[in-house]
Amino acid sequence: MIECRLAEASVLKKIVEALKDLVTDAAFEFSENGLQLQAMDSSHVSLCYLQLLSTGFEHFRCDKESSLGVSLPNLAKVLKCANNDDTLTLKAKDEPDVISLVFESKKQDCIKDFDMKLMDLEQEQLAIPDTEYKSKVTIPADEFRRIIADLQVLGDTCKITAEKAGVRFAVEGDVGKANITLKPGEAADEEGGKSVNIDVEEAVELRFALRYLNYFAKATPLAESVELSMSKDVPLLVEYKMGEIGAIQYYLAPKIDEEDEE
């Protein structure tokens, strides 16, 4: 039996919004430690990994490890019915056919419960490689989203260059060329600690499909800042840390296209 309660339904709402355009069906893996989800996008180019720790829940009970196959677009529809400050309780029996979601208003005068059908999903066990990254860049999440959205209008591929002096996002397309450079910030700190942080052991320059970066940026409402970790020839890691409760990680392989290289 599974029964776990989140103080704010809005957390799961934002998580599902951050995943549902990339992944349609996914298995929520419950264990006594919490809840995780691993999936590749439908074109098998990127991988996302969600981890929610049991300690981030108001109440967390999972008697037996279970994998619950869920349609994320359907789950999104159900979560839309929650008010942002409703509590959310997830419930499932052992060997369940359905997962129950119960939203309760703070005043307890409105209770919404949903039984959502589960799906049998083939388990693809994905090994996420443990990588030491040579470059880490932390930037305000909304600034990252904005940069990706802006550049996507101008081209398909973004070259990210991380150097001690700053991080640069470059794109080239029919309209022309664009470079957006963020410098590590002190000044920015004044506005509540949202600033650019550069931790570069070895400068890197990698090229990525903007389309996927744009999908990842849907996680923006979950965190103040986003961390980009890069090393030569290994996938980019884009991570949104959600305080106590856990994190969403996205992995994307760099583009290797010698002809396009300058």
Q: Which residues of 78-104 are buried (b: 16+ CB within 10 A; e: fewer)?
A: bbeebeeebbbbbbbeeeeeebbbbbb
Contact set for a copy of itself, span 97-116 (CB under 8 A):
98, 107-116
User: Which amino acid belongs to residue 113?
Assistant: D
- Cβ nearer to a copy of itself, comparing 16 with 47: 16
Q: Which two tokens stand for residue 246?
A: 């856990």
Are 235 and 250 in contact by the 8 Å Cβ rule? The answer is no
Asked whether position 177 contacts a copy of itself by CB under 8 A, the answer is: yes
Q: Count interface residues toward a copy of itself (CB under 8 A).
A: 38
- Cβ nearer to a copy of itself, comparing 2 with 188: 188
Q: How many CA atoms lie within 13 A of 19 on its CB side?
A: 33
Angle, CA 129 vertex, CA 66 and CA 36 arms, to 5°: 25
132's CB contacts (< 8 A; 6+ apart) are: 231
- In the complex, minimum distance from the CB of residue 84 to a copy of itself, in angstroms, rounded to a whole number: 13
Asked whether position 163 contacts a copy of itself by CB under 8 A, the answer is: no
- Cβ nearer to a copy of itself, comparing 67 with 105: 105
Is the CA virtual torsion 256, 144, 129, 64 positive or negative?
negative
- In the complex, minimum distance from the CB of residue 4 to a copy of itself, in angstroms, rounded to a whole number: 19
Q: Which helix (H) or strand (E) holds 200?
A: strand 197-200
Q: Which helix (H) or strand (E) holds 19?
A: helix 9-19
Rounded-to-integer distance, Cα 22 and Cα 252, Å:
12
Interface with a copy of itself (CB under 8 A), residue from 27, 62, 72, 196: 196
Asked whether position 77 contacts a copy of itself by CB under 8 A, the answer is: yes
- In the complex, minimum distance from the CB of residue 215 to a copy of itself, in angstroms, rounded to a whole number: 20
Interface with a copy of itself (CB under 8 A), residue from 29, 143, 227, 239: 143
User: Which amino acid belongs to residue 258?
Assistant: E
User: Which amino acid belongs to residue 90?
Assistant: L
- In the complex, minimum distance from the CB of residue 210 to a copy of itself, in angstroms, rounded to a whole number: 13
Interface with a copy of itself (CB under 8 A), residue from 59, 80, 93, 232: 80
Asked whether position 154 contacts a copy of itself by CB under 8 A, the answer is: yes
- Cβ nearer to a copy of itself, comparing 196 with 226: 196
**Burial label, 46 (beta-carbon count in 10 A; 0-12, 13-18, 19+):** buried
Asked whether position 50 contacts a copy of itself by CB under 8 A, the answer is: no
Asked whether position 178 contacts a copy of itself by CB under 8 A, the answer is: yes
Identify which range of 32-40, 58-66, 176-184, 221-229 contacts a copy of itself by CB under 8 A: 176-184
- In the complex, the residues that contact a copy of itself under the rule CB under 8 A are 71, 74, 77-78, 80-81, 98, 107-117, 143, 150-151, 153-154, 174-183, 185, 187-188, 195-196
